């Protein structure tokens, strides 16, 4: 199989390892930003840039795990007569402001407002105080990896949160051409995520993630996903909400990663719905393989070409550990953290950044340093392992680069 992957090779090592094991030929392409609202101009810009960079003849598939490349992905797939998804749907899902305003979504979200990007902190605080109740969460409209997501417990906390998020929005605009700022009322219940696929209109949740430790702010870096196969009986509330939202926004023949949180009254709310595999593909693939024996990358290649009906082969518990960075600085002793993972029977460990590289700590971080995947038989075993990792498997930084 010949595959074109929209993204950077260094961000897609997991898929590249998968492809090499199966004899796939993979080439990479970072498509141009899309400006304005002229879709024909978008198409020409993307196709011309792609043809100048790679050989499009003989490709069997084009894929991407990148939020900001989903429109370019569909433009290329259409050009090559591959199955496509609706661009208006993808535009809605790529931007939290559009998503929250959609009629199919409005009844399933918390109260929020869009903040004027030119506003100063006092003006933004006045708007938030008028429309919402504290605590609130400030976030970019099109962020990822929880970058720029900050909780303000009370009005006096808002200026710092506002400035942190505004800084991340500036970076996102430089890379994606747009990023707005939202403030929404904080939901104080547990947070979950679901990976699945939509095939020929059928919504198929595959696995559910519990986010640990509980995300209570002020920052929301996701340290661990404790993952189990989706249980239709226990997950009735999730299924009902997805049955409202997914057909309503028009998503079909696509993977999805949906994030949820319960409010103080126990009502389920949706935070976002992404039309891609989770974690650069890696999280969905590695966790699903551990939990069910299913192959998420294979499903991705088959969607739109045929109806899929994945049936779990077994039932296990997976733990994904994303080693947190406490302070921005230059990495050191990453090999020690890898060694801790191996000592605890890691299934797969990805070290994305090397000693000596500079990394940012939350909420300004956009990149993962170390991600490890573990298989366990029970939830209790996975939770006990997380306690060990949180103590022993930490990533160290220093303020000056070692000679």
**Alpha helix positions (H), 264-364:** 282-292, 296-302, 334-343
Tokens of 79: 């050009």
Cβ burial, residue 174 (10 Å; 0-12/13-18/19+): exposed
319: left (phi over 0), alpha (psi -120 to 50) or beta: beta
What is the CB neighbour count within 10 angstroms for residue 8? 12
> Do 231 and 339 form a contact (C-beta atoms < 8 A)?
no
Predicted confidence at residue 146, as pLDDT, reads 66
Give pLDDT tens digits for 303-343: 999 999 999 999 999 999 998 888 889 999 899 999 999 99
pLDDT at 216 over 60: no
> Do 72 and 46 form a contact (C-beta atoms < 8 A)?
yes
CA 258/CA 246 separation, integer angstroms: 10
Q: What is the arithmetic mean of pLDDT over 237-249?
A: 97
Predicted confidence at residue 182, as pLDDT, reads 85
Give pLDDT tens digits for 263-289: 888 899 999 999 999 999 999 999 999
Give pLDDT tens digits for 4-57: 999 999 889 999 999 999 999 999 999 998 888 899 999 999 999 999 999 999
CA distances in angstroms from 226 to 68, 288, 398, listed in the order given = 27, 12, 30
Give pLDDT tens digits for 160-198: 888 888 887 777 666 555 677 888 888 888 889 999 999
Q: What is the arithmetic mean of pLDDT over 212-232?
A: 82
Residue identified by tokens 């519990």 is 210
Tokens of 114: 């869009």
Q: What is the mean pLDDT of the chain?
A: 91
CA 94/CA 111 separation, integer angstroms: 19
Q: In the structure, what pLDDT confidence band is assigned to residue 96 with cuts at 50, 70 and 90?
A: confident
Q: Which residues pair with 397 in a beta bridge?
A: 331
CA 94/CA 255 separation, integer angstroms: 14
Q: Which residues pair with 3 in a beta bridge?
A: 26, 61
What is the CB neighbour count within 10 angstroms for residue 232? 9
Cis amide leading into 25 (omega within 30)? no
pLDDT at 112 over 60: yes
Query: By C-alpha distance, which of 232, 217, 229 is closest to 134?
Result: 217
Q: What is the arithmetic mean of pLDDT over 350-366?
A: 83
% helix, strand, coil for the chain, step of 5: 35, 25, 40
pLDDT at 217 over 80: no
Predicted confidence at residue 177, as pLDDT, reads 57
DSSP of 175-221, one letter per residue? HHS---EEEEEPP-S-EEEEEEEEETTEEEEEEEEEEES---SSB--
Q: What is the arithmetic mean of pLDDT over 62-83?
A: 96
Q: What is the arithmetic mean of pLDDT over 255-260?
A: 96
Predicted confidence at residue 310, as pLDDT, reads 97
pLDDT at 102 over 80: yes
- Paired sense of beta strands 2-6 and 25-29, if any: parallel
Lowest-pLDDT range of 17-21, 87-91, 216-220, 398-402:
216-220
CA 136/CA 129 separation, integer angstroms: 10
Coil, helix or strand at residue 339: helix
pLDDT at 221 over 80: no
Report how many helices (DSSP H) and strands (DSSP E) the chain contains, helices first: 12, 18
Residues in the chain: 403
Give pLDDT tens digits for 139-148: 887 666 566 7
């Amino acid at each position: 199989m010949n595959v074109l992957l929209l993204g950077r090779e260094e961000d897609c090592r997991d898929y590249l390892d998968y492809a090499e094991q199966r004899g796939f030929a993979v080439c990479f392409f970072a498509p141009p930003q899309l400006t304005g609202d002229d879709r024909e101009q978008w198409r020409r810009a993307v196709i011309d840039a792609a043809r100048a960079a790679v050989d499009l003849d003989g490709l069997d598939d084009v894929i991407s795990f990148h939020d900001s490349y989903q429109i370019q992905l569909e433009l290329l797939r259409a050009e090559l007569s591959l199955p496509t998804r609706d661009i208006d749907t993808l535009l809605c899902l790529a931007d939290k402001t559009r998503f929250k305003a959609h009629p199919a979504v409005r009844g399933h979200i918390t109260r929020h407002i869009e903040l004027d990007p030119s506003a100063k902190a006092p003006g933004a605080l006045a708007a938030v105080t008028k429309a919402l109740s504290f605590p609130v969460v400030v976030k970019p409209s099109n962020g990822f990896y929880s970058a720029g997501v900050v909780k303000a417990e009370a009005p006096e906390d808002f200026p710092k949160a506002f400035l942190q998020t505004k800084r991340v929005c500036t970076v996102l605009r430089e890379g994606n051409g747009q990023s707005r700022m939202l403030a929404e009322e904080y939901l104080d219940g547990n947070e979950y995520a679901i990976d699945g696929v939509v095939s020929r209109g059928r919504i198929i949740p595959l696995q559910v993630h519990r986010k640990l430790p509980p995300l209570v702010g002020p920052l929301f870096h996701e340290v661990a996903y404790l993952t189990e196969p989706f249980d239709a009986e226990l997950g009735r509330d999730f299924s009902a909400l997805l049955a409202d939202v997914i057909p309503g926004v028009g998503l079909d023949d696509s993977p999805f990663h949906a994030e949820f949180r319960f409010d103080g009254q126990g009502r389920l709310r949706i935070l976002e719905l992404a039309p891609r595999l989770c974690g650069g593909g890696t999280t969905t693939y590695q966790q699903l393989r551990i939990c069910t024996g299913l192959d998420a990358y294979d499903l991705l290649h088959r969607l739109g070409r045929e109806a899929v009906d994945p049936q779990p082969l077994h039932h296990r518990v997976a733990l994904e550990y994303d080693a947190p960075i406490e302070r921005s600085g230059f990495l050191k002793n990453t090999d020690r953290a890898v060694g801790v993972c191996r000592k605890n029977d890691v299934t797969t460990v990805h070290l994305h950044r090397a000693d000596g590289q500079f990394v940012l700590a939350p909420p300004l971080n956009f990149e993962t340093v170390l991600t490890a995947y573990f298989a366990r038989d029970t939830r209790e075993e996975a939770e006990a392992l997380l306690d060990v990792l949180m103590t022993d498997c930490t990533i160290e930084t220093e303020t000056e680069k070692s000679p």
